[in-house]
Structure 1
């Protein structure tokens, strides 16, 4: 199996490294692996990849135009993707497909160990330190979190796995997207339940403190 590495999406870092053939020690950015993943489902243009990412991996794996289109050029130079009909028209509308080498690289990446999960959540960091300012601030942060996850839940509910594919996917190809949607729904519902419980606990605690002061 080829040694696979993920490097940052910083454009300066990407452009400072020479293009290597798709062999050992293949180094690709997270965006590049995402592109290969979407192209493994069907040929797509850069625009179609971007729109598909917004409906799916955009919730947990950021991808932007500034990263997407330069990475398409890198993947083409590495012979991991190709334009089946040649380069024609605006590159944003040019359709790409995986080469055999690209599919092999993706298969190796999918089976390689994943990087440790890292969650960056400013709301939770604030929550850690807010109690010294009183329960009102904690309740404010909970309400802020609830609003965010109510939006997230609605967005996930609106996702229809496979709806943007050129042809309906078979049951096996839809298993991953469908299970991922269920993961998102249950995660959002769990956080919203926590928000309700945490806010209720804070209100109950504040009420008890008021009663104790009266006594």
Structure 2
């Protein structure tokens, strides 16, 4: 398959769930996929053009067409290509975390600033965790859908990872409080 274009497969994935306009595809990325994947209009439309050219998708009649909108459908060839991609190993995640970078380079002089960053991070992940829990309740209404178990797998990842991040922030804040009590040194 060569070097994969994950945007291409992300768009094929959305089309595998039903016919869509470019705008509808973008709404999916901004909705249920936003916690782990994003694409811009500037990425989606060239990929749709490429998919049609390669016969992985086709433009379909669209009676409610406004302002030049086009609707797209995945072709059998596109579905085969997508399924082949699904069966291949995922590329390693290139993980970059600015908060961890800041914490790593901080010194005892930066304790207050790092504490503020950790508190903000904990609050943001608590809010995210709450959203995931609400989504879990909403998804429970779709238990009969064949994709439900897979949707829940990705949602559980979000729930577990947001909880882990909150726990790490709390533990780190407690450690920094102890350091402040020891005059900023980890040695007693």
TM over 0.5: yes
Q: Secondary structure at the match of 1:82?
A: strand
State the distance in 2 between where 1:80 and 1:61 align.
21
Q: Measure how far apart 1:148 and its partner are.
A: 2.8
Report the RMSD for the aligned CA atoms in angstroms.
2.5
Runs (4 or more) in structure 1 with deviation over 3 Å come to 90-93, 157-163, 168-171
Is 2:66 aligned against 1:68? no
Unaligned stretches of 5+ in structure 1?
A: 7-28, 211-215
1:5 CA drift (Å): 2.0
* Cα-to-partner distance string for 1:157-215 (whole Å, 9 max, x where unaligned): 3434498xxxx6844321111121111011101111111111012112212338xxxxx
Count of aligned pairs: 182
Cα deviation, residue 40, structure 1: 0.9
Which of 68, 78, 85 does residue 109 from structure 1 map onto? Answer: 85
Tell me the equivalent position of 2:3.
5
Distance 2:66 2:73 in 1: 16
3-state SS of paired residue (1:63):
coil
Indicate conservation of the 8 Å contact 2:132/2:158, yes or no: yes
Aligned twin of 2:150 = 176
Contact residue 19 and residue 74 of structure 2 kept, 8 A = yes
If the length of structure 1 is used for normalisation, what is the TM-score?
0.74
- The answer as to whether partners of 1:36 and 1:98 remain within 8 angstroms in 2 is yes
C-alpha deviation, 1:92, in angstroms: 7.1
TM-score by length of 2: 0.84
Is the Cα contact below 8 Å between 1:131 and 1:138 reproduced in 2?
no
Q: 1:49 to 1:158 in 2, by over 3 A?
A: farther
| Structure 2: gaps (5+ residues) | none
1:40 corresponding residue in structure 2: 16
1:131 aligns with: 107
**2:139 pairs with 1:156:** no
Residue range with higher mean Cα deviation, 132-141 or 72-81 = 132-141
Q: Relative to 1, partners in 2 of residues 1:91 and 1:182: Cα closer, same or farther, differing over 3 Å?
A: farther
